Amino acid sequence: MSVRIRMSRHGRTHRPFFRIAAVDKRRPRDGRVIEQLGYVDPIAKDESKQVSLEADRIRYWLSVGAQPSDTVRALLKKHGVLS
C-alpha cells in the first residue's frame, strides 16, 4: 500500500476547511483515511487556529515512506515539520 499525506476538503459552500490525513494514494480525495494528522482553516481570523499539525505523527508517517502532496509539503516546510 502506497501512503500519501494529503488534504481533504470539508465545510460548506464558500466556507471550506481542510483535514490533513494519511491516505492510501488510490483512494478518492475525500475517501477513507488511515489517520487524521491535522487541519487547515484558511478563513479563521485567529492565526493560531488556522493550522494544527500533529508533528510527531507526521514525522512517523514520513519515516515509514509516506509521500506528502505538493501543497502539504509546502505547509510542513512553512511550519518547521520538514526541513
User: What pLDDT is stored for residue 1 in this prediction?
Assistant: 74
Which set of grid coordinates corresponds to residue 7?
Answer: 488534504
What does pTM read for this prediction?
Answer: 0.89
Q: Does residue 66 have a pLDDT over 80?
A: yes
Note the CATH architecture for domain 3-78.
Answer: 2-Layer Sandwich (3.30)
pLDDT range class, residue 61, cuts 50, 70, 90: very high
Is 69:5 a contact under the CB 8 Å cutoff?
yes
Cell 464558500 maps to which residue? 14
pLDDT confidence band for 71 (50 / 70 / 90): very high
Least Cα distance to 40 among 65, 5, 66 occurs for: 5
pLDDT band at 36 (very low <50, low <70, confident <90, very high): very high
Q: 10-24: b or e for each residue (b if 16 or more CB lie within 10 Å)?
A: eeeeeeebbbbbbbe
Task: For the chain, give the percent of residues with pLDDT over 90.
Answer: 87
